[in-house]
């Protein structure tokens, strides 16, 4: 089986983020064919189309981000829900990667979404708002299983390690399904 490089985008910038803990847990649970690396989004200036079309060069952080995402095989989004949608930092990263027009770094890459919240409905709203953007970005998302992870405050130990065997078992299967999905999409 081919090794697949997967960029992991974490939608929270918070130091103690459950989503970041989840991203590390997913990297540990993934099958050996997947190489997961978090690509940071916190230093990306807010997207302004003038900086892609005017005389000035695009911000270096945008260029570095685009160069980092372009060569990967697939993208895993691990995100909280803010006000029933995705956090602005995540939407900004998506917008930065999607431009200049015709040069989107997301185009054609298989994706998967794990949404994580301390709340009961597992950031369902963010998960599905993100799916709407993936349609336009031409990123086929893994459909099944869906991963809405609720009750996040009770899933991790003091070191930030996933400490719920049932959740770990489910997420291992999720990552196996993602690996199979990447193979199916990329051939
Ligand atoms: C601006 C803001 C809006 C939020 N809106 C929601 C929401 O719509 N649904 C939800 O489940 N949690 C919501 N929360 C709570 C987050 O789920 C919680 O802060 C969570 O820990 C964020 O993820 P993180 O731990 O990875 O940073 C919101 C938090 C903030 C700061």
Query: With helix as H, strand as E and coil as C, how does 8-61 read?
Result: EEECCCCCCCHHHHHHHHHHHHCCCCEEEEECCCCCCCCCCCHHHHCCCCCCHH
Position 130 scores a pLDDT of 98
Cis peptide before 100 (omega within 30 of 0): yes
- Spatial distance between the Cα atoms of 22 and 79, rounded to a whole number of angstroms: 9
pLDDT tens digits, 106-150 = 999 999 999 999 999 999 999 999 999 999 999 999 999 999 999
Q: How far is CA 172 from CA 29, 48, 69, 103, in A?
A: 5, 39, 24, 33
Closest CA to 144 of 123, 99, 174: 174
Q: Residue 31 in 3-state DSSP?
A: coil
14 touches ligand 1 (CB under 6 Å): yes
pLDDT tens digits, 148-184 = 999 999 999 999 999 999 999 999 999 999 999 999 9
80 touches ligand 1 (CB under 6 Å): yes
More confident residue, 98 or 55: 98
Q: What is the mean pLDDT of residues 95-101?
A: 96
For residue 50, the CA-to-ligand 1 centroid distance in Å is: 31
12 touches ligand 1 (CB under 6 Å): yes
Please report which helix (H) or strand (E) contains residue 181, including its range: helix 165-186
Mean pLDDT (the chain) is 97
Position 118 scores a pLDDT of 98
pLDDT tens digits, 31-40 = 999 999 999 9
Pairing type for strands 74-79 and 4-10 reads parallel
98 touches ligand 1 (CB under 6 Å): no
For residue 58, the CA-to-ligand 1 centroid distance in Å is: 31
- Spatial distance between the Cα atoms of 110 and 76, rounded to a whole number of angstroms: 9
Position 143 scores a pLDDT of 98
Does residue 56 surpass a pLDDT of 80?
no
Residue nearest atom 3 in ligand 1 by C-alpha distance: 82
Q: Which two tokens stand for residue 55?
A: 């005389």
115 touches ligand 1 (CB under 6 Å): no
Task: Say how many residues make up the chain.
Answer: 187
- Spatial distance between the Cα atoms of 98 and 61, rounded to a whole number of angstroms: 14
Strand partners, 102: none
Does residue 55 surpass a pLDDT of 90?
no
Confidence of residue 87 (pLDDT cuts 50, 70, 90): very high
């Amino acid at each position: 089986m081919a090794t697949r490089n997967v960029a992991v985008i974490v939608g929270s910038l918070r130091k103690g983020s459950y989503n970041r803990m989840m991203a590390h847990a997913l990297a540990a649970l993934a099958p050996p064919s997947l190489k997961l690396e978090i690509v940071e989004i916190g230093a990306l200036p807010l997207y302004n189309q003038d900086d892609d079309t005017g005389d000035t060069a695009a911000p270096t952080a945008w260029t570095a981000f685009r160069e980092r995402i372009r060569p990967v095989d697939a993208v895993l989004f691990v995100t909280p829900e803010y006000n029933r949608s995705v956090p602005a930092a995540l939407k900004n990263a998506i917008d930065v990667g999607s431009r200049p027009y015709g040069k989107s770094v997301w185009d054609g890459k298989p994706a998967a979404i794990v949404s994580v919240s301390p709340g009961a409905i597992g950031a369902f709203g963010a998960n599905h708002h993100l799916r709407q953007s993936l349609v336009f970005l031409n990123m086929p998302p893994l459909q099944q299983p869906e991963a809405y992870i609720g009750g996040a405050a009770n899933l991790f130990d003091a070191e930030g390690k996933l400490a719920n065997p049932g959740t770990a078992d489910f997420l291992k299967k999720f990552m196996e399904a993602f690996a199979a999905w990447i193979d199916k999409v990329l051939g």
